[in-house]
Every structure is written in structure tokens, then in C-alpha cells.
Structure 1
Amino acid sequence: MSIENEFATVDLVANAGVATSGIDAFALSVIKADRQIRRLFTHIVFQCPAFTRADVPALRTALWERKRCYFEGFVRGIDGILPMSLDQLIGASYQPLRLGIDNAIEVRNKVFHGQLTDQSLCQPDLLAHVGNVRAWCQAIANAGMQAVGYDGFQRNSFRKGRPEVARTFKRTLPNVAEYRRFLGDWVIRREGWQSPAGW
């Protein structure tokens, strides 16, 4: 699954020529970014040698039971396992890309809760956010392929990749109980958390 295929629906919506094209394409793009980072995280976890197909239901349930796992937590979780952080894997463009996705998530959260943003966004502004989200997703796809051979877009993140990948991890999870603990320590949003964008 390439980013072009993943964003084909976003492009169709953006080019539909209706009044809501901008906001609809924007919302869809952020949903795709959220799903990509979650899938990359679950794929990385599944590379731990202890986990097999028999563990998938328990791994899914452990994540489902955690009600405060959000975008920034999945980034933290990835950084807590891989030998290099996403920041290091992506390089100099990470900070501007991260600012772009954080701003897009801030706008998404306001819109989804029926609130006004302080930006008075029009369709071109929303489509600019779509471009920022796409650029972030492309960078994450590249980083994921480099680190573990998975871009976060391919279906079924619970599958094994190269066996040697897990030997490079900073930490591996030996069982589902430790996965639950890791979610609590690394992924779940903490009280008083503030995004880098300040929302």
C-alpha cells in the first residue's frame, strides 16, 4: 500500500468541488495519520519474539482497554522500542513536520468537538493542512520501512517481518502483561499533558 493509494480517497474528496471538500478531506487525512501511527506501533510491538498469531486477540484487547492512547503516545511508544527515535530516523525535517501534524490535530480536535479555532480557516487553509499531514505520513512511512520494513499503511499490522529486526530494539516485550505495563508507562496520555503545539 503506497501513500498515493492511501490518500487517493482524500484527493477525490478534496477535488469533489463541493462546499465541504476542504474540511472533509482534512478530517479524513488526519484519521489516516492517526491510523498509520497506531498500526506502525502495533507492528513494531508484534516483532517482539515472544508474540505469535495466538497473541493477537490479547494484544488487541490490551490496547482497546486503554482508553487514553492517542497519537503522541504512539509516537512515544515507537521511540521507546526502536533503537533510533522517529526524530532521528526522519532527521532535520522532523520538527517542522511534527509541528504541521500537531497543528492539524489541534484543528481536528476543535472541529470534532464543534468548537471554533482561532485561525478562521478557509478551504485553501484546510487543504494546506492536508498537505502537511500527507508530508508527515510520507516521512513516517519512509522511517517505518527503514526501521522495520513496514510503512503503517499496509493492512494487518500484526504480522512478522525480518526476524533480525527485534534484535536491534532498545527493549522487547516478553508477554502481554508487560505490553500492558508498557502501554501504561509510555503510551497512555498523562494528566496535565500539553501538545507541542500548545492545545
Structure 2
Amino acid sequence: MSNHEFDTIDLLLSSDAPTRAVDAFALAVIKIERQLRKIFTNLVYQAECYGSEDVPKLRDALSSNTKIYFSQIEACFNALSSISTKEIIGKDYERLTARLQEAIGYRNKIFHGQLTQKNLSASDLEQLIADLRLWSELLGNGAEQYFGYDGIKRNSFQKSALPDIHKVIKIKLTSIQDYVDLLKAHQR
């Protein structure tokens, strides 16, 4: 997996901007959430029933569901894939997931202009960013290995070049409605 996904974060951190740590932190959380979503949507797209003409409908199914957040995307992914995020991330999964959930909570507070009750320093945020970067690297490398897509490449709606990709999919999706039902089954 390319480490370029965090280049913007590194630029922010190396700047003289007084808000560099909080800005880089918020962007890191967004990138993590987007990466898992893209890996999930890529895996969904591997269903034989979906082609390029279905991409707008697949996007709409996810974007119109307002009860799907990071945890729900992870649950949907784990329901669909025979290889869970825990297996992909490996031995650091529990620690990194706890850090990620902590980061998402802080990000939500920050985005809403609220205080975090932790009085987070720039150093605290940089440590969280380091853990988010590790999560991203482990997830991306594992996803590339198992699914042929790391969640970083720009187009998640592409068919995998891996000949046995269908073997990692546990749920047979046969329509857009099947996808909608998968999302609904795991929504908040």
C-alpha cells in the first residue's frame, strides 16, 4: 500500500499553523473512515450481478442510509467477508480499534465545537494519528493481499483481478435490494 494517503497529514503536521495537530487529526479520522468504506464497497461490487451501470444505485443506497457510520460499515464488511477486519489488522486489532473509537469520539466533539474533557495536547493528537496511520497501513496491506484493493486507490467500483475473489464473499448479493438489506441489517 502506498503511504501517500497520509502525505497531506504530514504536511499539516510539519507546518507552523497553530491548529496543525487538530487539523491533521481530523483529516486522519476522515481518511480511515473513507478507506474502510471503499474496501467494503469494492467487495460489494465483486458480486456478479453488479456492473458499471449499477454504480450510481450502489452509491445511492449507501449515501441515502443515514444510519451507517464507521462501526456499521465494519459490521457490514465483516458480515460480507470471510476475512474479518480483526484478521486483516492482526494482533494489534483490539488496541488499534479502541484507539480508533477514541479518535472518532474526539473528532465528533471537535466537529461540533465541543470540548473533549481530555484537554488533548498536540502530542496526544499526534500519538492518535500514529495509531490511525498504523491501522490504515495494516488494513490496506491486508485488503490488498486478500481482495486486491487497499481502499486507497481512487475507484472502489472496479472488479478484482484476483481469480478467487468470490471465495471471500459469504453473502450472495443478487440485486441492489440485497445490498440495501445488508446495510439495513447493520445500521445504527
Work out whether the TM-score is over 0.5. Answer: yes
Query: Percent identity, aligned pairs only?
Result: 37
Give the Å deviation of 1:163: 4.1
Matched, 1:174 2:174: yes
- Give, in whole Å, the separation in 2 of the partners of 1:124 and 1:90: 25
Distance 1:50 1:167 in 2: 16
Structure 2 match to 1:194: none
Distance 1:76 1:17 in 2: 39
> d(CA) in 1 for partners of 2:124 and 2:92?
21
TM-score normalised per structure 2: 0.95
Opposite residue 123 of structure 2, the aligned amino acid is P
**Counterpart for residue 14 of structure 1:** 13
Within a 5 Å distance, the mapping from 1:52-131 to structure 2 comes to 52-131=51-130
Question: Contact conserved, 2:28 with 2:132, CA < 8 A, in 1?
Answer: yes
Unaligned runs of 5+ in 1: 190-199
Q: CA deviation at 1:78?
A: 0.9
Give the drift of 1:172: 2.2
C-alpha distance in structure 1 between counterparts of 2:47 and 2:16, whole Å:
46
Which letter does structure 1 place at the counterpart of 2:169?
F
Kindly provide the CA deviation profile for residues 10-44 of structure 1, in whole angstroms up to 9, marking residues without a partner as x.
00001102211110110111111111111111001
1:37-56 aligned within 5 A: 37-56=36-55
Distance 2:130 2:88 in 1: 21
Does the CA contact (< 8 Å) of 1:81 and 1:169 recur in 2? Answer: yes
Q: Which moved more, 1:6-15 or 1:83-92?
A: 83-92
1:128-147 aligned within 5 A: 128-147=127-146
Contact 1:166 1:172 in 2 (8 A): no
CA contact (8 A) 2:42 2:156 kept: yes
Matches of 2:52 and 2:157 in 1, distance apart? Answer: 8
- In the alignment, the residues of structure 1 paired with residue 71 and residue 52 of structure 2 have an alpha-carbon distance, to the nearest angstrom, of 27
Q: Which residue of 2 aligns with 1:193?
A: none
Write the distance in 2 (CA, Å) between the matches of 1:172 and 1:138: 29
Q: Which amino acid is the alignment partner of residue 63 of structure 1?
A: L
Query: Could you list the per-position Cα deviations for residues 92-130 of structure 1 after superposition, in whole angstroms to 9, with x for gaps in the alignment?
Result: 111111111111111101111111112110111111111
Deviation (angstroms), 1:91: 2.1
Task: Render the CA deviation track for 1:114-161: whole Å, top value 9, x for unaligned.
Answer: 111121101111111111111111111022112201110100100000
RMSD: 1.2
Residue 51 of structure 1, CA deviation = 0.7
What is the TM-score with the length of structure 1 in the denominator?
0.90
Deviates more, 1:24-33 or 1:141-150: 141-150
Q: Supply the distance in 2 between the matched residues of 1:163 and 1:52 (Cα, whole angstroms).
A: 17
Query: Once the two structures are superposed, what CA deviation does each residue of 1:152-186 show, in whole Å capped at 9, x if it has no partner?
Result: 01001000002420133111211101111111002
